[in-house]
Structure 1
Amino acid sequence: MQFISHHEQQLSLSDTDKPQLQPNEVLVKVAAIGVNRADCMQRQGKYPAPKGDSPILGLECAGTVVALGTEVDSNWLNQSIFTLCSGGAYSEYVAVDAGQLMQLPDSLTMVQGAAISEVYLTAFGALFQLGNLQQGQTALIHAGVSGVGGAAIQMAKRVGATVVITAGSDEKCQHAKQLGADHVINYKTTDFAEYMQHHQLTANVIVDPVSGRYLNKNAEIAAMDCQIIMLAFLDGRFAEVDFARLLQKRISFHASTLRNRSQAFKRQLRDEFVAMFYDDIANQRFDFNIYKTLPWQQAMQAHEILERNENAGKVVLEVQ
């Protein structure tokens, strides 16, 4: 099979053997691949694959099941699916744990399916498993028009929360409004803490891939018992922390990643997400927030889009 190899930070098509299936796995013929910042970091040598995962890039895809492991229900054969992957999605074929598959609704394209798994499951875990977001509460979502941000906006609104986002341009803020955000803040022109204080807003759940200098600002506008979920540290690894404010408001701080979670965790996350939101996906109540679709031969251009922070939404590669 062909796959996209990475060498000296460059991407190119190469050849390798198809993956061998474990008893719990299926072989997926890949039709479309979701591109994520983790892929860029792995290409740069900053985020190696966890032990046991495929060294090939790619954490999500949509495609067709073409072969089954010995323990897999035969009903999956020839099904169109979308799914998380333990690496390996940047290829013509990928082996996937059958317990993480989600059936692609007839109403969705492969490109749409490839834009869902990583960002929706990450946002779901942050908002609901860790954040316990409830109807009537307020969610603050930093990087609000990223793939995760766009998914978080829509799921938070679906359960009846008020949504505040930050983004880096007026155009991105407008895009977030179209996705359903109630308050949009251009962080380059407006201090989000001052904005929220002026509008008498406090956050019950904060989804934050920025961290760094945002930590104390988050604490300023946090509600009592606020849950802060850190997904990355785009502003840097280190920060001074006002622990008195964290104690005063009984703030809980979670550092969360999805890639290195156990198979059992990912299966449970998938099951809870499907139970809560699969009907919304099948009935296209969500905008899958696709910024650009490219042929997989242009994977390097896709990475450059993310690295320039150009995109408002997902970039998807089509396998052609």
Structure 2
Amino acid sequence: MKAIVIEQTGGSETLQYQERDKPSLQPGQVLVKVAAAPVNFIDTIIRQGNMPPGMMPALPHVSGVEGSGIIADANGSEFKDGDKVTYLGPIGAAMYADYTVVEADKLIHLDDDANLLEAGAMPVTYFTAYHMLHNVARAEQGKFALIYASTGGVGTALIQLAKAAAIKVIALDRKDEKVEQALKLGADYAFNSTKDWTEQVKQVTNGKGVNYIFNPVADDTIKQDIEVLATLGHIVIFGFLAGAGDTNTQAQVLNHFGKSPTITYSEIYATYFSNFDLVKESLASVYELLAQGKGHQYFIEFLRVPYNIIGDIFIPS
């Protein structure tokens, strides 16, 4: 079979299109013929060698932590050959290949008429978004949610899922064209985060602030988050794109102690390894929304790229 293999870290030129042996099965595993495997941020930082200490996989490495496909060998499991499935896996899931081996209890069964391209693009971003919105923040309809990086993968998912739950969305992005795109995705309001967005947020919330904030940036943005957070509001931090920053979070929170704020850090693999049933339940809800037409109409565009040229055009250096 063919696979995309990383033998050394660096730019996209390190992605090698190679012939590999089809993986063999162990008890409890099934063989999946891969139909779609998206590119995630984690795939890029692995290829660059920028993973946090202790998390970098051994090389050579086949990337791809999610995707969809068709069961090629059910191996005595509850599945049958030909079933459509999707998969959210750990580092090492090896989805950038013609075939991959998956633990049967980690697969999610899809309907026969499921679109494998859409289904395969959703597990990481949409589980991340659904989990934060409904399991972590327990967001309620009619409340305000502030979403950073609103036109990225998770941001797009958050907008869709929040609107499906009748939550009012305020989107933040760094470029005016992305602000416009966020409005097209369904955000009620959208502001440029390089400008004085805090005053704009206060205006549209009548000075009450937002109930939920979903922040993958970190750094010193916590100062602004606390400022625009409503009483009993909830900040969910799910990344550190700008680093940890110099903010003394405790001091900032104490300045707004009367709001009784909640700050949560959300990392999906903590849930993946400790409560996979919750992952399955959450993704089942996501796919039900997709079946109802509450997700796919917002997809901007899929870029279909053959494996053998992925290193040339799909993953930026």
The answer, yes or no, to whether TM exceeds 0.5 is yes
Q: How far did residue 23 of structure 1 move?
A: 3.1
Give the TM-score normalised by structure 1. Answer: 0.85
Q: 1:216: Cα distance to partner?
A: 1.1
Deviations 1:49-94 (A, max 9, x none): 5789x94211111111111244x204x4211222212221111111
- Tell me the SS of whatever aligns to 1:34: coil
- Residue 209 of structure 1 aligns with which residue? 216
Aligned to 2:164: 158
Aligned to 1:19: 23
- Contact residue 19 and residue 95 of structure 1 kept, 8 A: yes
Instruction: Answer yes or no: is the 8 Å Cα contact 2:36–2:69 preserved in 1.
Output: yes
**Greater alpha carbon shift after TM alignment, 243-252 vs 36-45:** 243-252
Greater relative contact order structure (CA < 8 Å, 6+ sep): 1
Which amino acid letter does the alignment assign opposite residue 222 of structure 1? L
**Partner residue of 2:198 out of 187, 193, 207:** 193
Query: SS at the partner of 1:23?
Result: coil
Give the distance between the partners of 1:202 and 1:171, measured in 2 at CA. 25
How far is the alpha carbon of 1:107 from its aligned partner?
Answer: 4.9
Q: Deviations over 1:200-232 (max 9, x none)?
A: 252222111111121111111111222211111
User: For the structure 1 residues 2 and 117, does the alpha-carbon distance in structure 2 shift closer, same or farther, using more than 3 Å as the test?
Assistant: same
Instruction: Identify unmatched segments of 5+ residues in structure 2.
Output: none
Which structure's residues are more often strand, by fraction?
Answer: 1
Distance 1:249 1:166, change over 3 A: same
Query: Would the alpha carbon gap of residues 138 and 185 (structure 1) be closer, same or farther in structure 2, given more than 3 Å must change?
Result: same
Aligned 8 A contact 1:100 1:267 in 2: no
Residue in structure 1 matching 2:42, options 38, 62, 84: 38
**Matching residue of 1:317:** none
1:316 aligns to what? none
Deviations 1:94-145 (A, max 9, x none): 1223333333445543221221111100101111111111111111110001
Report the CA distance between 1:193 and its aligned residue.
Answer: 1.4
- Are residues 22 and 265 of structure 1, via their aligned partners in 2, closer, same or farther at CA, if it must alter by over 3 Å? farther
Is the aligned partner of 1:119 residue 2:114? no
Partner of 1:315: none
Q: Post-superposition, which runs of at least 4 consecutive aligned residues in structure 1 deviate over 6 A?
A: none
CA pair 151-209 structure 1, distance change in 2 beyond 3 A? same
| Secondary structure, aligned partner of 2:63 | coil
1:297 Cα shift?
Answer: 2.6
The alpha-carbon distance between structure 1 residues 20 and 207, as it changes in their structure 2 partners (threshold 3 A), is farther
The CA deviation string for residues 260-282 of structure 1, in whole angstroms up to 9 with x for no partner, is 544452332221331x3332212
Q: Which residue of 2 aligns with 1:295?
A: 306
The 2-side partners of 1:245 and 1:183 are apart by 27
Structure 2: how far apart are the matches of 1:260 and 1:299?
Answer: 30
Instruction: Verify: 1:8 aligned to 2:32, yes or no.
Output: no
Structure 1: tracts of 5 or more residues without a match: 308-320
Pair 1:55–1:257, CA change in 2 (3 A):
farther
* TM-score, normalising length: structure 2: 0.86
Percent of pairs with identical residues = 27
Give, in angstroms, the shift of residue 247 of structure 1.
3.0
Q: Deviations over 1:223-250 (max 9, x none)?
A: 1222211111112222313131353322
**Is the contact between residue 4 and residue 63 of structure 2 (CA under 8 Å) also seen in structure 1?**
yes
Question: Is the contact between residue 42 and residue 49 of structure 1 (CA under 8 Å) also seen in structure 2?
Answer: no
The residue type equivalent to 1:223 in the other structure is A
Residue-pair matches, total: 300
Match of 1:237 in 2: 244
Equivalent residue letter for 1:91: A
CA distance in 2, matches of 1:217, 1:33: 36
Structure 2 residue matching 1:88: 3-state secondary structure: coil
Of residues 29-38 and 286-295 in structure 1, the stretch that sits farther from structure 2 once superposed is 286-295
